[in-house]
A = this chain, B = another copy of it.
């Protein structure tokens, strides 16, 4: 069975908070991890229903919120205003294709450093950031 690290993280969080370990939470965690990031609530709901059609929308929302609190998932809003979830990991930003919707992650230490400098200039204590580049991917530019 895959996803051991995240399963363990979830179990630890549930135990710490005296919350319960349910099969719905397992199914949703699996769906989220299988989706490999950037899945919307709707997409997760569909994936989850393939495994267990009795799980409701509400539970998907509530569980994703739980995973965010547990530090396993991160919620993001791109320009369409719909929430997407990705596996929590630091220091990366996104390129989004305006035509096909493809999302590519990138990292730039230079940009990271510059952000810190800018925050310092304005006397802000930085907590997080959002950096998205929108354009057309090589495939969509040609067509």
Chain A 87-130 interface mask (CB, 8 Å, partner B; 1/0): 00000000101100000101010110011001101111111111
Q: Enumerate chain B residues within 8 angstroms of A111, measured Cβ to Cβ.
A: 111, 114-115
What total of chain A residues lie within 8 Å of the partner, measured CB to CB?
Answer: 34
Interface residue? A135 (CB, 8 A): yes
Contact B122 A127 (CB under 8 A): no
Enumerate chain A interface residues (CB-CB to B < 8 A): 77, 79, 81, 95, 97-98, 104, 106, 108, 110-111, 114-115, 118-119, 121-138, 141
B131 near A129 (CB under 8 angstroms)? yes
B130 touches A135 (CB 8 A): no
Q: How far is the CB of A41 from chain B (nearest CB, A)?
A: 13
Beta-carbon contact of B130 and A130 below 8 Å: yes
